[in-house]
Structure 1
Amino acid sequence: MNLWVKKSKFLIIGGVLLTLVFGGVALERYGYLGKLLSASEESKPAAAPAATAVAPADDPMKWPLVRSSVPTKRKLREWMTFTGTTRADVRVEIRSRVRGYLKECNVKDGAIVVEGQPLFVIDQEPFLYERDAAKANLDRAMAVRDRFKSNYDRTQTLLDGRATSAQQLETDRAEFFTAEANVASAKAAYETANLNLTYTVITAPISGRMGMQLIDEGNLVQADQTLLAVIESIEPIHAYFTVSERDLLKAPVLRPHMPMMEQRVAEGLMTTTMSPVPKADEIQVALGDSKEYAFSGEMDYTEYGIDASTGTTMRRVKVADPEGQLVPGMFVRVRVSVSPEQDRLLVKQQAVGSDQVGDFLLIIGADNVVEKRSVTLGPTEGDYRVIRTGLSEGENVVISGLQRARPGSKVRFDLVDESPATPASPTAGATEPATTKPVATKPAAAAAQPIQSTPAVLPAPKSPADHSQE
């Protein structure tokens, strides 16, 4: 027990001594370092006055560099573009009116046919027999009628001489009129047989392009059921497209046009403003992804009402295509003019930004400060976008480097001339392309372009030591 107590005392005393030794070494070391740090701070030269330093935000060379341009002003007509499909003006399915075996096909697949041209021939032999039988029945009925007519005339003569009874006259008269009716029935049967014979030769009901022959010679053709071929008219051709309810409200020219209501407005019976009828040059059609609208048309049908399931309504444009470039089933782009030609402001498409608030442009204003401006966009015109509201002519718009141009900050910019190319002198025989005018940072003395000018950096004032050296 005593031995354990003695060992504990020695351990406690040793721990206390080690703590004192390490604590003294630490105080001595950090005290010496503190003196060194204070001495180094005292040895540093005094900082220059705050007025002599140039803050990074005021250094023009540290402003981000962007490219900008002024909006282009052009006379444009606004269009709405829709995607549609083409259909033939008239499409006819060729079927036989009589039952029989197909004997002849007189045209090739895909041939151009004219109205009345013979296409198919059904076997005529059974119909010839039917016609001859109907003709024989007609002749027999006519012979019977003639005999009863003679009896009726004779009985009437005898009755005038009181040589027969009135009852016999009535009998002969009934037989004559019955025979007359039989002649009419036989004549109708004969004409029907003759008509069926003509139906064995199937002719083209319209002029156009014939499709593929759907049944070969020798097959049985059922009357009014078997489809033989399809003929589609070539010119003109129709383009069908749908218009949404939103676009319909924006463009009155796309609304249904009702002449009856227009007449009532002219008579003063109604005050409703009617939608104008598009002119020939206000509807244009382009093929696929072609940028050239090579066809013009006129709207000849507008569906009245909107489909509640799709929210759209159908429109049809009659397109003139004398060269036959359009065929049924093609995808086309139809654009409709929704405003007259007038001055519009355009900017490069890449200059338009968009966020949760809406569309915007970055405008470089006075002192090179960037302003975020909300704008209303119009349709596209090539690489440009029409700006309806929010932009004035001559303003400086950022077109490249939008990520570096923060609203409220200052920027440097290179002004790019985005105006359309203008024709050169007649002797040059060429047009001048759009040129780019880089503007470098200039001192404040260059006041020719105040928006692009960059404030000069003033040198720091000399210290008294520098003056003593001079």
Structure 2
Amino acid sequence: MRVTGIGRAAATVLALATVGLAGCGQSGSAPAPAAPPPPEVGVVTVAPGRADLSVELPGRLEAYRVAQVRARAAGILNKRLFNEGSDVKAGQPLFDIDAAPYRASLASAQAQLARAEANLSQAQALADRYAPLAKSQAVSQQEALNAQAAAKQAAADVAAGKAAVQTAQINLGHATVTAPISGRIGRALVTEGALVGQGEATPLAVVQQVDKLYVNFTQSAADVMRLRQALAEGRLQRAGNGEAAKVQVLLEDGSVYAHAGKLLFSDLSVDASTGQIALRAELPNPQGLLLPGLYVRVRVAQAEVADGVLLPQQAVARGLSGDTVLVVAEDGTVSAKPVKLGPPQGGKALVLGGLKAGEKVIVDGLQKTKAGGKARPVPVAGPATAASAPASAASAKN
């Protein structure tokens, strides 16, 4: 088909318009993508408070009192009068030893005493009779003196007889073996028919008082010295306001024993072979749950800090240049703050300095941000406060 001049002109105009539109589309700039929002991080709000600095040490329980039941009278053991493993009272009969020989000895001593008393009565009567006769020279002075000496000798025989009777009564009493203290008695060490007390005081049983227990443990002398230095310099305060330090016992399953004890003393000298100082605490045991000889963990509150902050361990970055935490400002800016750490407390980091009340410390989502960046703080469980927890108080940093 033949194209006319008008048709060619129209085609040219259409082509130019299409090229113009394409050029306009290529020269226009695409819209920029929106900036991502700041990452969400978990924070705790700093609220300084008092923190007890405690030390956890291995210890061993010991009975408050231990008494060995021994046979002080020689003879054949007739009968055991208690149930093994039961609680006994002081003075309660425990064993019965054949007492026939001791009853005979007592009867003999009483007869000797009666004879001595009769002799005394006769000698004293004679001395009393001779006294006035000697003054009137009815009898010689020598006879009067002899009568007085005989009376005194008879009185001495009576005193010896009374002592012999008392000794026989004591020996007879020893034939019944009683509990020296109140407590829990163990197994019998002898059986009926055994000859006991022959030449020595035979052990029969052991009674232990367990309503209270001692806890014996040791602490490094170096830790004790560092703690004392910190207390002397005022960096730490003594726990308990001058009272005996509080002691808690941790059982094998990790639980804390219901009754707290108190520290009695720390030894005045250091064991030269171990470099340890011996300590002892007193622990109530009213239900008898704990047993002597049991190994336990002992938590002793030795000092306290007035303005401490507890943080999860992951919140603190440790490095050669020091320890730091990430803090979120009101505008969302993240910054690193150096902190001074004390001993760890119950799996948490104890901050002794470097933070102010109200600051928000990042404890969750640390991998999402860094110092100089932005973050959106979201509170996590509770504020960062100080609280009592186990620690090695003597290892506090200077």
Is the TM-score greater than 0.5? yes
- Rate the CA distance shift 1:68–1:158 in 2: closer, same or farther, 3 A: same
Between the two proteins, what is the percent identity of the paired residues? 30
1:264 alignment counterpart: none
Equivalent position of 2:95 in the other structure: 120
Please state if 1:329 is matched with 2:293: yes
Structure 2 residue corresponding to 1:236, chosen from 193, 212, 215: 212
Q: Is the 8 A contact 1:78 1:379 kept in 2?
A: no
Deviation of residue 147 (structure 1)?
2.5
Q: Note the alpha carbon deviations across 1:150-181, whole angstroms, 9 max, x for none.
A: 33233334323423211222222222212221
Q: State the partner residue of 1:265.
A: none
- Aligned pairs for 1:54-73 within 5 A: 70=43, 73=46
For the residue of structure 1 that corresponds to 2:360, the secondary structure is coil
- Which ranges in structure 1 are unaligned for 5 or more consecutive residues? 1-59, 256-272, 423-470
Which residue of structure 1 aligns with residue 344 of structure 2? 379
Which letter does structure 2 place at the counterpart of 1:419? V
* Structure 1 counterpart of 2:51, one-letter code: R
Partners in 2 of 1:309 and 1:390 — Cα distance?
Answer: 41
Structure 1 position 341, deviation (Å): 7.2
Q: Which residue of 2 aligns with 1:286?
A: 250
1:317 aligns with 2:281: yes
- Where 1:93 maps in the other structure, the secondary structure is strand
* Residue of structure 1 aligned with 2:52, choices 69, 78, 84: 78
Distance 1:277-1:96 versus aligned 2 partners, 3 A rule: farther
Q: Distance in 2 between matches of 1:119 and 1:372?
A: 71
Match of 2:222 in 1: 246
Aligned to 2:76: 101
Going from structure 1 to structure 2, the CA distance change for 1:125 and 1:399 (only over 3 Å counts) comes to: farther
313, 318, 322: which one aligns with 1:349 = 313
Q: Deviations over 1:295-315 (max 9, x none)?
A: 222223333343343333233
> Equivalent residue of 1:155, what SS?
helix
Structure 1 residue 411: Cα displacement = 9.9
Aligned match of 1:420 in 378, 381, 394?
381
* Equivalent of 2:261 in 297, 304, 307: 297
* 1:261 aligned partner: none
After superposition, the Cα gap between the structure-2 partners of 1:253 and 1:277, relative to the gap in structure 1 and judged at 3 Å, is: farther
Count matched residues: 335
Aligned partners of 1:77 and 1:337 also within 8 Å: no
Distance 1:88 1:416, change over 3 A: farther
Q: 1:206 aligned to 165, 171, 181, which one?
A: 181
Structure 2 CA distance for aligned equivalents of residues 386 and 211 of structure 1? 47
User: Is the 2:58–2:296 Cα contact (8 Å) retained in structure 1?
Assistant: yes
Partner of 2:155: 180
Structure 1's 84 and 278: CA in aligned 2 closer, same or farther, altered over 3 A?
farther
Q: Which one of 347, 360, 363 corresponds to residue 394 of structure 1?
A: 360
Q: Distance in 1 between matches of 2:364 and 2:374?
A: 8
Query: What secondary structure is seen at the aligned counterpart in 2 of 1:177?
Result: helix
- Partner SS for 1:95: strand
State which structure, 1 or 2, has the greater radius of gyration over its C-alpha atoms: 1
1:368: Cα distance to partner? 9.3
Q: CA deviation at 1:320?
A: 2.5
Give 1:358 deviation, angstroms.
8.2
- In the alignment, the residues of structure 1 paired with residue 82 and residue 229 of structure 2 have an alpha-carbon distance, to the nearest angstrom, of 45
Name the structure 1 match of 2:32: none
CA distance in 2 between counterparts of 1:254 and 1:227 reads 51
The one-letter code matched in structure 2 to 1:129 is A
Deviation at 1:202, TM superposition (A): 1.4
Q: 1:277 to 1:165 in 2, by over 3 A?
A: farther
Q: Secondary structure at the match of 1:378?
A: coil
1:16 counterpart residue number:
none
Corresponding residue for residue 155 of structure 1: 130
1: CA distance, partners of 2:192 / 2:290: 32
- The amino acid across from 2:380 in the alignment is S
Q: Distance in 2 between matches of 1:176 and 1:254?
A: 79
- Matched residue SS, 1:381: coil
